[in-house]
Amino acid sequence: MGGLAALARADGHTVTGSDANVYPPMSTQLESLGIALTEGYSGEALTPPPDLVLVGNAMSRGNPAVEYMLNERMPFTSGPRWLGENYLTGRRVLAVAGTHGKTTTASMLAWILEYAGLNPGFLIGGIPNNFGVSARTGSDLFVVEADEYDTAFFDKRAKFVHYRPQVVILNNLEFDHADIYPNLGAIQTQFHHLVRTIPGNGSIIVNAQDQHLREVLDWGCWTKTEGFSLSDTPSTEWQVVMLDAGGRQLRFLHREQTVGELTWALSGRHNALNALAAVAAAAAVDVSPDVAVAALGEFTGVKRRLELLADIEGIRVYDDFAHHPTAIRLTLEGLRRSVGSARILVALEPASNTMRGGHHVHELAPALMPADHVWLRTSEAMDWDPQDVLGKLDGAGRARRQVDNLLDDLDQTVRPGDHVVFMSNQGFGHAPKRFVERLEARFTNP
């Protein structure tokens, strides 16, 4: 929604917005664009009445602002529909879909197109460091992060059915959004609806190692597909070879021919696949793979995607957007391969509806195994016992409800050479920033 606000502002509209919990980096981006923010929901945020209200999918009946909007008969629509009808019609749309990696892969793809001189527009659910903004208008090419979450309280279809892309990356597919979908099959149905909207002369770039995606395509596909995979999977059009354990050196192949090699700052198997998918999607709009690989050499990541916040006396502090055990596991496994035997300290806030509901509780402990110490921020909203996870970590885990207590524990445990990772898809009480400030105070004024 913040990105949509930025697009509307760039188009000359006066834009205001309200949210229950406003925090960086999106809040600071909106403030810099002159977009007024109201924390909390009420009819006052809709006074005087706007020409149009874009309703986010977190809103539901009973919300004071929603009830005021309906009672006053204000014109309203969903963000995805507004985007599809106002920006994407007539453009060549490249969409990035999947349970994990959408933001990073979309950021890579947008940067590749920018590096190639194509000036793409984009809407991404994070802030790519290469651009410093999450959305812009750009040329006739438009990269959109295509989310499978529902559209709005009045439109229960997945957001991505509104986008009508010509090129689609299907990164992966797992069960998520338990507050919306009853099972994996329901999510697969939404992905099938997306596949049905892609034209026959378009392109589908699909993770060939994902069985759930193969099942979706088996239900029906009318578009050319190209598979991508790690090099240990045969018979895919696009492959990536990890030349080192951490994934910082990569070789890219298309139809078994090397098209480029890359040394970069990112790490992990998941980012190797994200990069490969972006290279393949760029090729679908005639960007040469060697140019795409060269662009990735200058890709500087995304805010809150294992973002290095500080390196103080050899203590490296990261902020990571974590919403699913698989994403947590892949991030920590990649970091472990990169840092070797150095200690990894993790502070995790299970903040998504699915994680709070305990739907993935049995996957959390294995996902956290690469860490040496784990702190779990608990809350009344959690429907499970933290010891179901922490008890499987061989004494390396601790539950804390208050952020201050968690930071005190970290303060007493951390030492030079450690890697400290804060993981949450919400604000975490500004814990990463506060911990960096503690370290600065400790080492500046010992």
Q: What is the pLDDT of residue 178?
A: 67
d(CA 70, CA 81): 18
Q: What is the pLDDT of residue 234?
A: 66
DSSP state of 35: -
Strand pairing category for 224-230 and 203-207: parallel
| From-to residues of CATH 3.40.1190.10 in the chain | 81-296
d(CA 418, CA 421): 10
| Class of domain 307-444 as given by CATH | alpha beta
* Per-position pLDDT tens, the chain of length 446: 888 998 999 889 999 999 887 777 778 878 888 898 888 899 888 999 999 999 999 899 999 999 999 999 999 999 999 999 988 999 999 999 998 889 999 999 999 999 999 999 999 988 899 999 889 999 999 999 999 989 999 999 999 999 999 999 999 998 877 678 889 999 999 999 999 999 999 999 999 999 999 999 999 999 999 999 998 776 799 999 999 988 899 999 999 999 999 999 888 888 999 999 999 999 999 999 999 999 999 999 888 888 899 999 999 999 988 878 888 888 898 889 888 999 999 999 987 776 777 767 788 889 999 999 999 998 887 888 888 888 888 878 899 999 999 999 999 999 999 999 999 988 898 999 999 999 999 887 65
Strand partners of residue 346: 374, 421
SS3 291: helix
254: its two tokens: 């298309």
HEC string of 412-429 equals: HHCCCCCEEEEECCCCHH
| From-to residues of CATH 3.90.190.20 in the chain | 307-444
Question: Which single residue is written with the structure tokens 């060697």?
Answer: 290
Domain 2-74 sits in CATH at: 3.40.50.720
The answer regarding whether domain 81-296 maps to CATH 3.20.20.80 reads no
Please enumerate in sequence order all residues whose Cβ is within 8 A of that of 111, keeping only pairs 6 or more positions apart, or say none: 128, 130, 131, 295, 296, 298, 299
Backbone angles phi, psi at 271, to 5 degrees: -75, -30
Phi-psi region of 9 (alpha: psi -120 to 50; beta: other; left: phi over 0): alpha
Question: Which single residue is written with the structure tokens 């749309």?
Answer: 93
Q: Is 422 exposed, middle or buried (0-12, 13-18, 19+ CB in 10 A)?
A: buried
| From-to residues of CATH 3.40.50.720 in the chain | 2-74
How many degrees, rounded to 5, is the angle at CA 402 between CA 331 and CA 303? 35
HEC string of 293-345 equals: HHHHCCCCCECCCCEEEEEECCEEEEEECCCCHHHHHHHHHHHHHHHCCCCEE
Number of residues in the chain: 446
149: its two tokens: 């979450």
Backbone angles phi, psi at 374, to 5 degrees: -135, 135
124: its two tokens: 């991404």
